[in-house]
Structure 1
Amino acid sequence: MEQKVANIAGAKASSDARIEKMSEIHRFSHAELDSLKILYPSGANDLRLKVFRDLRTRVYASAPGKNFTCMVTSVVPDGGCTYVVNNLAAAIALDKTRTSLVVDCNFYAPSADSLIVTDTDVGLTDYLDSADMGVESIVYASGIPRVRVIPAGGNTEGATERLSSMRMHAFLDELKTRYSDRYILIDAPAVGEYAADTRIMASLCDFVLLVVPYGKVTEAQIRSAVDAIGEKRLVGMVFNHM
């Protein structure tokens, strides 16, 4: 028993050390984070920090003791989905024993490049089109410590076919199982305009966060979005004022 406990403790220490040594090519300055509207511990906007820490806690409660794959979508385009994804990823990464991975699956309006601090040659669509490409070739460093990013890629046509492919299934499984301390956040297209794509993505993820742009959608639109996702998959709604 003592040996087993020692092994577990050793494995955790090794994981913590790996996370701490993750290569950070360039860290965003506070000014850059403010420009991107991303939280940081000493940020002037303490309310945003509090809100996303609370959201992080609520999402953790849906998968106690293990990592997860969470899709984030908005009721309508430009509803604040990327804002929520980026800040939730940053909130998770505030814990030095955890990492987060943002996957840009919004092929219609990709945005993850704004987080990446290196050149990007390939992304998700390139990976899905090439059986010889490994996941590690499309994961990039961000300007936020312990946050990694997978961009949408070059050829973003044929989104529905790619998202429903067996390679996409295997891709998400590998992301989740490769590192137990990594939490995957999927930036998905708006459910109001791309219901087929979001249904596919929702079925592949553990659960879904729905972003509701405050004062910009009707109750009927919200209900339609919830129906498209499925209530069993829905972990919560985030009302966005940004």
Structure 2
Amino acid sequence: MSANPIFERESAATDERSSQRSIAPAPAPVTLTPSQLEERAIIHRTAVSRPEVDAFRELRTRLLAAVEGSFVALVAPVSSGSGGSFVARNLATALAFDDTKSALLVDCDLRHPSQHVTMKIDTPTGLVEYLEDPEGDLSDVIYETGVQGLRLIPAGTSREIGAEYFSSSRMRLLLDSIRSRHPNCYVFLDGPPVRGTPDARILADIADVVILVAGYGRDTAASIAQAAANFDPNKFVGVVFNEGV
């Protein structure tokens, strides 16, 4: 697995008490072994320099330099198969390498959710269930991943249309709750492909920065430029060319 970061210039009628307990302290998670992390296509720290780990560390460093304070980052692939979920998962992991920071990965590809499968988290509930239930507690859909400092909100039940979910006041409440309770938590939205649906553009409205993922040798320069044109230039921080999923 490898990624080469190239930055070219990412009353709601809900009980206030729910947001206050939205991310309650959880029991200490079981830490995954290096072999388990590799099975899940997740980078990990080693004593020896590894190109894929260094690539994500470099990407993380550039992103932190470009944005002041914690942020919500949308990671969106140009097209299906470009490796957006791989990049989102490992960029969040690289952020969590810093013990003073934490990362929350949110699977927002409601048509083809994959993070819970790749990370081997067996769950029937996630983002969709939280957004559909006005009384739902956010802590019920946040899962430990086995990676220190990294947690996941899986997509939940798949849906053909995500626009209504992502533009809802409850989606904004979710992000506001995380910001207010955990100022050092960086949120990564694993978005659906830009081509084909408006979902990525809608997610960009609630994100602070947008990172586009292009499949190396897969997405053409024209398709990358067309995808990038969907986003506010003030939020768009660059393109990651991904060589493997």
* Structure 1 residue 58 corresponds to structure 2 residue 53: no
**Equivalent residue for 1:176, pick from 175, 179, 186:** 179
CA distance in 2, matches of 1:192, 1:156: 17
Structure 1 match to 2:239 = 237
**Equivalent residue for 1:131, pick from 113, 125, 134:** 134
Larger radius of gyration: 1
Aligned to 2:192, the other structure's residue is in SS state: coil
Structure 1 match to 2:115 = 112
Unmatched segments (≥5 aa) in structure 1: 1-20
CA drift at 1:45: 6.6
State the identity as a percent.
Answer: 33
CA distance in 1, matches of 2:191, 2:136: 23
CA drift at 1:75: 0.6
CA distance in 1, matches of 2:47, 2:38: 8
Q: Could you say which structure has the greater relative contact order, defined with CA pairs below 8 angstroms and 6 or more residues apart?
A: 2
CA distance in 2, matches of 1:159, 1:92: 27
8 Å contact from structure 1 (residues 30, 43) kept in 2: no
CA distance in 2, matches of 1:155, 1:53: 32
CA distance in 2, matches of 1:188, 1:43: 32
Structure 1 stretches of 4+ moved >3 Å: 21-24, 114-119
Structure 1 match to 2:22 = none
* Structure 1 residue 159 corresponds to structure 2 residue 162: yes
In the TM superposition, what whole-angstrom CA distance separates every residue of 1:210-242 from its partner, at most 9, and x where no partner exists? Answer: 011111111110111011123222111101111
8 Å contact from structure 2 (residues 40, 120) kept in 1: no
Structure 1 match to 2:202 = 200
Give the direction of change, closer, same or farther, for the CA distance of 1:77–1:118 in structure 2 (3 Å limit). Answer: closer
CA distance in 1, matches of 2:148, 2:118: 11
Aligned to 2:230, the other structure's residue is in SS state: helix
CA distance in 2, matches of 1:162, 1:145: 29
* Bigger helix share: 1
RMSD: 1.8
CA drift at 1:63: 2.2
In the TM superposition, what whole-angstrom CA distance separates every residue of 1:43-96 from its partner, at most 9, and x where no partner exists? Answer: 7671111111111111112222x2110000011111011111111111111111
- Normalising to structure 1: TM-score of the pair? 0.85
CA drift at 1:22: 6.1
Aligned length: 220
Unmatched segments (≥5 aa) in structure 2: 1-24
Give the direction of change, closer, same or farther, for the CA distance of 1:102–1:108 in structure 2 (3 Å limit). Answer: same
Structure 1 match to 2:74 = 71
Aligned to 1:229, the other structure's residue is in SS state: coil
